[in-house]
């Protein structure tokens, strides 16, 4: 070993620490500016685009006294910069105003509906990953084969299909014709009033309380919307898995592993897939974030009482506080998942240099 290499080896430990610190610092800067950007955009949408933001919040039927009071409460007489400062301060406290439609604080509404969305998106991502990853691996290993072609077509259709339309057709087939699933809602009316949720995730709650009839009913309601979202994420996950695996399978360590006499199963599932694991985690996280967003249309079709349905119901009633609060809520989680998966990728993968 030369002198230079010795020094390099000694410096490597601290260099790694510096790299991690700088990567955390960068993460903080990016996170803060991105959230400020999100708030700036919603501020712009709520306060700048409407000719009269008070009317946009209250609707045109509000009495004059209320309009005047709201105008002062919203601080519309202040300069824009100050208005934005107050807006950010309120948002950090979780104060997004009151919903006209439900008359609750928007934040309370969001807390109530968010678990339904999380439950749906989580189940969708699980379905997508459990089918998508093996499909992508097989497509890469048997490149050009029938299964590769099928995976490609399945993926392409997933990228091209309007999800709300597929949902409607699914309802016609599985609910109306075959009667395999329950009508659009979260639970049957019978259970709606007797079942007390704990976490807000009905499948989990029913299982904890051992109410298997409720579990079965909840399952019959969630299975189709979750399968549809799962299909969307499957399209994305299988395509990315295939691409990562092709990349890994072309590496020299694969040749070495084969030369050692390892079985093909170990080479593919043990060596290659394991090395593709870090980018795969990122892809699954991103697909989860996309499902949160994709739930807006799916929830509308399936009357699923989550944040997407909340936003579209509020839209129909020109309830801007609720619309923007919902946008910030989805946006925040979306951004958080994006940033965290990026950070995770930088920290876990030794090949990506921080900074």
Contacts with other proteins by CB under 8 A lie at 30, 33-34, 37-38, 41-42, 45-46, 49-50, 56, 156-157, 159-162, 164-166, 168-169, 171-172, 176, 243, 246, 289, 292-294, 296-297, 300-301, 311-312, 315-316, 318, 320, 323-324, 326-327, 330-331, 334-335, 338-339
| Residue of 193, 241, 195 lying closest to 216 (CA atoms) | 195
Taking a C-beta distance cutoff of 8 angstroms, is the pair 70, 289 a contact? no
Question: Judged by CB, which is closer to other proteins: 203, or 229?
Answer: 229
* Smaller CB separation from other proteins, 171 or 222: 171
Which C-beta is closer to other proteins: that of 65 or that of 176?
176
Which residues are paired to 98 by β-bridges?
105
What does the alpha-carbon distance between residue 31 and residue 24 come to, in Å, rounded to a whole number?
Answer: 10
Closest distance between other proteins and the C-beta of residue 325, in Å? 10
Closest contact distance (angstroms) between CB of 327 and other proteins is: 5
Q: How far is the CB of 256 from other proteins (least distance, A)?
A: 24
Positive/negative CA dihedral, 242, 243, 244, 249: positive
In the complex with other proteins, the residue whose CB is nearer, 147 or 246, is 246
Burial class (CB in 10 A: 0-12, 13-18, 19+), 24: middle
Residue with Cβ nearer other proteins (207 or 246): 246
Q: Which is nearer to other proteins, 91 or 324 (CB)?
A: 324
At its nearest, how many Å lie between other proteins and the CB of residue 311?
Answer: 7
User: How many Å apart are CA 116 and CA 355, to the nearest integer?
Assistant: 38
Quote the least distance from Cβ 160 to other proteins, whole Å. Answer: 4
Work out the burial of residue 132: count CB atoms within 10 Å of its CB; fewer than 13 is exposed, 13-18 middle, 19 or more buried: buried
**Least separation in angstroms between CB 287 and other proteins:** 13
Dump the DSSP string for 117-179. Answer: HHHHHHHHHHHHHHHHHHHHHHHHHTTTSHHHHHHHHHHHHHHHS-HHHHHHHHIIIIIIIS-
């Amino acid at each position: 070993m030369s002198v230079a290499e010795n020094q390099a080896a000694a410096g490597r430990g601290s260099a790694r620490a510096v790299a991690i610190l700088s990567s955390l610092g960068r993460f903080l800067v990016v996170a803060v500016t991105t959230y400020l950007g999100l708030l700036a955009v919603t501020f712009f949408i709520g306060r700048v685009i409407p000719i009269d933001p008070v009317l946009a919040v209250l609707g045109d039927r509000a009495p004059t006294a209320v309009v005047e009071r709201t105008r002062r409460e919203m601080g519309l007489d202040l300069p824009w910069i100050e208005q934005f400062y107050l807006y950010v301060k309120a948002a950090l406290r979780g104060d997004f105003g009151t919903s006209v439609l439900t008359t609750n604080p928007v934040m309370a509404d969001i807390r109530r509906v968010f678990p339904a969305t999380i439950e749906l998106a989580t189940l969708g991502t699980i379905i997508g990953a459990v089918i998508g990853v093996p499909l992508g691996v097989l497509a890469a290993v048997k490149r050009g084969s029938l299964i590769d072609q099928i995976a490609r077509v399945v993926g392409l259709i997933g990228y091209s299909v309007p999800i709300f339309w597929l949902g409607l057709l699914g309802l016609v087939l599985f609910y109306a014709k075959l009667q395999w699933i329950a009508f659009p809602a979260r639970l049957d009316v019978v259970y709606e009033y007797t079942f007390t949720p704990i976490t807000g995730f009905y499948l989990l709650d029913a299982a904890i309380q051992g109410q298997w009839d409720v579990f079965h009913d909840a399952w019959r309601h969630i299975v189709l919307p979750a399968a549809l979202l799962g299909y969307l994420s499957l399209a994305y996950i299988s395509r990315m898995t295939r691409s990562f695996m092709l990349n890994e399978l072309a590496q020299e360590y694969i040749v070495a592993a084969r030369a050692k006499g390892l079985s093909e199963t170990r080479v593919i599932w043990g060596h290659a897939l394991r090395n593709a694991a870090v980018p795969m985690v990122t892809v699954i996280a991103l697909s989860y974030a996309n499902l949160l967003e994709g739930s807006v249309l799916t929830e509308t079709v399936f009357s699923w009482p989550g944040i997407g349905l909340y936003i579209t119901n509020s839209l129909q009633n020109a309830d801007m506080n609720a619309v923007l609060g919902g946008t910030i809520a989805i946006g925040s989680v979306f951004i958080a998942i994006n940033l965290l998966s990026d950070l995770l990728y930088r920290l876990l993968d030794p090949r990506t240099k921080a900074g």
